[in-house]
Amino acid sequence: MRELAASTVNIEVRFWVNSRRLPFLEMTSQVAQAIKEALMQAGIEMPTDIYTVRLRGLPPFINNHRVNYDEQN
């Protein structure tokens, strides 16, 4: 375990690759896929990134329609 974050447990995996037998990138891809599949089979969900977008200074909405103050006067 590398870190206990707010809503995740971050793990770090280290392994040795014999690059004479299998290219490094191919092996790391296979290992990552195997880890993901093992976690899924164990019922462990992978978190998704959550982004909060706040828009400021927009005109107000009433019943899902934008209020145009110029039309009200």
| Segment 6-48, tens digit of pLDDT | 778 888 999 888 888 888 889 999 999 999 999 999 998 877 7
| Segment 55-71, tens digit of pLDDT | 777 777 766 666 666 65
pLDDT value of residue 73: 45
The C-alpha atoms of residue 11 and residue 31 are separated, in whole angstroms, by 14
In single-letter form, the type of residue at position 34 comes to A
The C-alpha atoms of residue 1 and residue 49 are separated, in whole angstroms, by 20
Domain regions of the chain by residue span: 3-72
